[in-house]
Structures are given as C-alpha cells and as structure tokens.
C-alpha cells in the first residue's frame, strides 16, 4: 500500500529534481520479515511502513540510493553507525554516520527527511557564515538529539 499519495509524490519529485545535486544514500536498519510470526520483544509496528515510505521517497529521484539492513544480520554495521533501535535510518554522502533518524518520519516530520536529503545531496550549505565559522572551529564531536512527535 502506498504511503505518499500521488500529489505528494509529485511535489517531492519536483523538489528533488530542482534541489538534489549529488548522489545520496538512505540506509534503513530494520528487521527481516518474520512471515507474520510475532516474537515477544521483536515486535516492530513501524518497521514496514518506514521501509515503504523510504522506498517511495527513493523512487522519486535516481540520485537517492535506498539500502535496507537487518539489525541482527548486519549488527557490525549497525554498531559502526551507532544504531541500536529499529526502525532507524541514516542519510549520507558516503560512509559518514552523523545524520540519523529513529522512527518513521511521517506527518510534520516528513519535511525533516526531505531537508536532510537536500542538505546532504546539494553539498551547498545554506547556513549563515557565523554558524559555519563556529562549526569549523569545533575540535570534538557535538551530539545533538532532538525528540519529536509526528503531529
């Protein structure tokens, strides 16, 4: 079942056509289909819809490369990416792991996904000079966690 309706899909396609420049990766950590089996502690209500949404988004541009990994079978990569929960995904140019999203980017959070893809793909920062100067002086990592709800 489609998540994005036709008009939303067209808006997304148009925006990406205008704003995506370089290839960008969308890497989802999820779990393999259990074939309808419910294993206590391994329920994941939003894994399937998140995968569906990310696939639909990736289908709107040839520059977006969607990859699906299994949190258990690809445990080493999950650890490298700092991922321990599902569904979670990364937006990256190459192997960097510093743009993460835990959960489904639905509703009012959908633009966050769009922005992340555009920011990473365009390689052109819209940040103010003052912000760039500050960020360039960082010698250690800053971890910014933002808690949201999709309303």
Partner 1 sequence: MAHAMAAFTEKVVAEVIEVQEFPDIGNSYQVKGVPLTVINEKYSFTGAANEQMLLEHLKNALSELPEGEY
User: Does residue 109 interact with partner 1 by CB under 8 A?
Assistant: yes
Q: Minimum distance from CB of 121 to partner 1 (Å)?
A: 9
Task: Check residue 104 for interaction with partner 1 (CB under 8 A).
Answer: yes
Q: How far is the CB of 6 from partner 1 (least distance, A)?
A: 26
Tokens representing residue 65 in the block = 């490369």
Q: Is 96 in the site for partner 1 (CB under 8 A)?
A: yes
Residues 6+ apart with CB under 8 A from 58: 26, 64, 65, 66
Binding residues for partner 1, total number by CB under 8 A: 43
Candidate list 1, 37, 39, 142; residue touching partner 1; CB under 8 A: 142
Helix (H, G, I), strand (E, B) or coil at 117: helix
Structure-token pair, residue 125? 């920062």
Query: Is residue 114 part of the contact set for partner 1 (CB under 8 A)?
Result: no
* Alpha carbon distance 41, 86 (integer Å): 12
Nearest residue (CB) to partner 1, 6 versus 121: 121
Residue (11 or 102) nearer to partner 1, CB? 102
Could you please report the per-residue DSSP string of 20-81?
Answer: --S-EEEEEEE----TT---TT---TTHHHHHHHHHHHHTT-TTEEEEEEETTTTHHHHHHT
Q: Which residues bind partner 1 (CB under 8 A)?
A: 46, 82, 85, 91, 96-105, 109, 112, 115-116, 119-120, 125-128, 130-132, 134-136, 138-150
């Amino acid at each position: 079942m489609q998540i994005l309706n036709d008009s939303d899909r067209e808006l997304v396609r148009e925006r990406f056509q205008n704003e995506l420049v370089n290839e960008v990766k969308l890497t989802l950590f999820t779990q393999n289909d259990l074939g309808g089996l419910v294993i206590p502690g391994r329920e994941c209500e939003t894994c399937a819809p998140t995968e569906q949404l990310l696939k639909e988004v990736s289908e709107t541009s040839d520059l977006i490369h969607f990859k699906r990994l299994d949190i258990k079978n690809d445990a080493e990569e999950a650890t490298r990416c700092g991922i321990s929960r599902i569904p979670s995904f990364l937006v990256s140019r190459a192997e960097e792991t510093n743009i993460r999203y835990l959960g489904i980017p639905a509703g009012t959070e959908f633009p966050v996904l769009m922005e992340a893809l555009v920011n990473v793909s365009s390689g052109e920062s819209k940040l103010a000079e003052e912000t760039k100067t500050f960020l360039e002086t960082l010698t250690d990592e800053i971890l910014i966690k933002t808690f949201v709800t999709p309303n």
